[in-house]
Amino acid sequence: MSLYLIGDVQGCDDALQRLLATISFSPSRDTLYLLGDLVNRGPQSAAVLRRIMRYGNAAQSVLGNHDLHLLALAHGVRQASRSDTLGDILLASDRDAMLNWLRWQRMAMLESVDGHALLMVHAGVLPQWSATKTMALAGEVETILRGQGLGDFLHQMYGNEPDQWHDALTGADRLRVIVNALTRLRFCDAQGRMDYDSKEGAATAPSGYMPWYEVPSRQTADIAVAFGHWSTLGWLGRSDVLSLDTGCVWGGCLSALRVGGAGPSDDTTRLQQELIQVQCVQAQKPG
């Protein structure tokens, strides 16, 4: 049995199919954890969702900003942009099944792999949040996504304020900060104040800001955190940070990381990693 983490697919079903063939994925034996942004910008978002849904419990995903954007479009909260490629889902006869499946995916996942804690999110984790707190806060959003108040939540989800976490936050402000951290975060300052404008690599942090995983005394520094979202950062395979958005939809690669499976002679001080990549031929121009 193998466990694989897969970065942002973004509607590139051909690349996903080739990647799964390359790793000889078997849903009866292996497990996939997808790191969000399954859909949008690529040409086959519906095919990606249908493929993953067929795998049942062998494939689980956290939700990314593009996945939430799809839910917002479906509920009439947002208008489609010129760069959106979600019509194949929104006009499909099985649209409701795909949207309902998305609603039941996670905002964060925490697993133990060979005795190592592995936290999975789409974008990042604020420095004040431990893994346990991250899971609790993610659960607050998941409850809303699966409940009767989804439409109201989606109407209030968008916005950049508040830009910092406080335990006293309530209502829409609280949920918005949680969503923004888990699905949009790249840079923040030492107090966890988020910047949403900078989208280039780690070296381009605005003055006073840094990549979220470089904040001193980050509460998740003692475990491995896997994430996608940051295509200009690309692959990063540290003991505490696993970055897996390698820009498939922008002409890069789609990446899978096999984790765990340490043998008796392997280094047990860190989570074992094996990176597998396929080139994406469905590249889109940024827009």
List, in order of start, the domains of the chain with CATH numbers.
Answer: 3-279 (3.60.21.10)
What pLDDT, in 10s, does the model give residues 52-87?
999 999 999 999 999 999 999 999 999 999 999 999
Question: Judging by beta carbons within 10 Å of its beta carbon (0-12, 13-18, 19+), is residue 275 exposed, middle or buried?
Answer: middle
pLDDT band at 15 (very low <50, low <70, confident <90, very high): very high
Element at 256 (helix H, strand E): strand 253-259
Examine the pLDDT at 287 and tell me if it is beyond 50. Answer: no
Tokens representing 34 are 């997808």
pLDDT band at 270 (very low <50, low <70, confident <90, very high): confident
pLDDT of residue 100: 98
Examine the pLDDT at 284 and tell me if it is beyond 60. Answer: no
CB 278 within 8 A of CB 254: yes
pLDDT band at 261 (very low <50, low <70, confident <90, very high): confident
What pLDDT, in 10s, does the model give residues 154-185?
999 999 999 999 999 999 999 999 999 999 99
CB 165 within 8 A of CB 192: yes
CB 129 within 8 A of CB 219: yes
Distances (CA, A) of 153 to 101, 267, 283: 18, 45, 33
Over residues 129-147, the mean pLDDT reads 98
pTM of the model: 0.95
Examine the pLDDT at 265 and tell me if it is beyond 50. Answer: no
Please tell me the distance from the alpha carbon of residue 251 to that of residue 127, in angstroms, as a whole number: 32
Examine the pLDDT at 260 and tell me if it is beyond 70. Answer: yes
- SS3 letters for 111-180? EEECCEEEEECCCCCCCCCCHHHHHHHHHHHHHHHCCCCHHHHHHHHCCCCCCCCCCCCCHHHHHHHHHH
